[in-house]
Amino acid sequence: MKFRSVRQGDMPGVDAIIVPLFEDRIIPKALDSRVRAVVERISREAEVSRLYAVSAHHGEGPRIVVVGAGKRTEFDAQRALRIASAGVKSLWRSRTKRLALVVDSGAGLDAAHAARAAVEGVLFAMWRPEAHRTKDEDRRLPPLEAVLLAVDGDAKEAIRRGEAVGEAVNVARRHANEPANKMTPTALAAEAKRIAADAGVDCEILDAAKCRALGMHSFLSVAQGSHEPPQFIVMRHAGRGGKGYDAAFVGKGITFDSGGISIKPAEAMHRMKADMTGAAAVIAAVAALGKLRTRSNVIAVAPCTENLPGGGATKPGDVFTSMSGKTVEVINTDAEGRLVLVDGITYVQREGARRVVDVATLTGAIAVALGRHFSGLFGKPEGFVEEVAAAARAAGDRVWPMPLTDEYREEIRSDIADIANSAGRDGGAINAAAFLDAAVEDGTQWAHLDIAGTYWADLERPYTPKGPQGPAVRTLIELGERLARA
């Protein structure tokens, strides 16, 4: 599939045209008279004032798809992405080969940024989760060969970046979608090595023996009940050369989470194949930075294992020593994500990173607090947290800052060890963040993204199918690029 930019009035030989329509119903002037007439009729007859509502005309000539764009003053990267995605998703099962997409702008989003987000949206809609169905018609996508972006100015660079980011998000979605019997820690490590080689990024895999020698007993404690060997994935992008890292990304890589001895209810446990979405996000993001030749140095790690109730599994009440030297009492074996992350956070700090962002499907509590539309954002100092929030806004990810004070840090103190991995239900997402904070050293800027509410869509929406959503990938890439410009 090829993307290129054209003038808004120059869309010859296309099979379909996607037009965003804001609540002000101002139709782009560059559309030819026939298309304008169709859009005007749709704007009078259809429910285009509803955000992402799709209406289509199937008469002579190209199919015309109008997507409700909401208020022009609220137009941002996320909305630009979802408008494009909704339009393309409406073309599933069509025979569209050449597509024109009108890129409008509004509020503080310029044409280049809108074009970039639109490319990401097209690619987002060109991925479906039915990977293991045997009938082609169950997985059918439009056979897109060319996408023409009708946009003011040259969007060549915007297209290049949009393709890299959109593909990275889909890589993370594909990995999260795979069944746990196919996406084991070993399989994910092999995928990371392949992706890294394609992107020109260094990749190293630490096995259990190496992790044990480094003192990662908190991480290894989670792996004790599984026959699958744990894998600690390390990827390095040296974009500017020289010593040191501008940022470190740490992703939770639980390739299946049964809860261990503190076993989960059977309902929806099958979705725990995607408890490695954080790992998938950091792997995809650092590879995209490599492909984009971003001039920043970034290290990404993904501690990967299964969490199962085997004969050697960790028991509630067991105590382990983490890589930082702090002792951890395991109160609940289903609070395992934080056990692997603390050793990942310590590892990147030992490697010299002083800006750390971790990504994890960490707590159901964050979905209770924020629902399914925002990821929770924690960290310190406030300036770095806002830096990550700004990157998320620019990238089109939704995050919401959450509190983290000494009262919560006090709650995770153990009666017999330094810290406990659970402090009860109240403030569960914050207590989990406080546990991670115990591994953050003085002088380290740290942010934690809890994506447990946003990693998976339970409902089909106009702009996305059910299934994995790939949150945080765009944020991490944006942050890596911003640090390159700093």
Each residue's pLDDT tens digit, 391-434: 999 999 999 999 999 999 999 999 999 999 999 899 999 999 99
- pLDDT in the model for residue 177: 98
Report d(CA 189, CA 195) in Å as an integer.
10
Report d(CA 119, CA 158) in Å as an integer.
8
User: Model confidence over 238-270: pLDDT tens digits?
Assistant: 999 999 999 999 999 999 999 999 999 999 999
DSSP type of residue 474: H
Report d(CA 98, CA 103) in Å as an integer.
16
**206 φψ region: left (φ > 0), alpha (ψ -120 to 50), beta (else):** beta
- pLDDT in the model for residue 8: 65
Q: Is the separation of the CB atoms in 51 and 75 below 8 Å? A: no
Confidence band of 154 (pLDDT split at 50, 70, 90): confident
- pLDDT in the model for residue 150: 92
User: Model confidence over 83-110: pLDDT tens digits?
Assistant: 999 999 999 999 999 999 999 877 778 9
User: Model confidence over 19-29: pLDDT tens digits?
Assistant: 999 988 888 87
DSSP type of residue 192: H
Q: How many CA atoms lie within 13 A of 394 on its CB side?
A: 18
Q: Please report, rounded to a whole number, the percentage of residues in the chain having pLDDT higher than 90.
A: 87
Report d(CA 159, CA 120) in Å as an integer.
9
Report d(CA 476, CA 283) in Å as an integer.
10
Q: Please report, rounded to a whole number, the percentage of residues in the chain having pLDDT higher than 70.
A: 99
Confidence band of 321 (pLDDT split at 50, 70, 90): very high
User: Model confidence over 58-78: pLDDT tens digits?
Assistant: 888 899 999 999 999 999 999
Average pLDDT over residues 127-138: 90
- pLDDT in the model for residue 9: 66
pTM of the entire predicted model: 0.97
List, in sequence order, every residue forming a beta bridge with 303; answer none if it has no partner. Answer: 232
Name the average pLDDT for the chain.
Answer: 95
DSSP type of residue 26: P
Positive or negative torsion for Cα 248, 254, 259, 260? negative
List, in sequence order, every residue forming a beta bridge with 63; answer none if it has no partner. Answer: 16
Q: Which residues are catalytic?
A: 264, 338
Positive or negative torsion for Cα 49, 367, 284, 445? positive
User: Model confidence over 361-371: pLDDT tens digits?
Assistant: 999 999 999 99
Average pLDDT over residues 183-204: 98
- pLDDT in the model for residue 104: 85
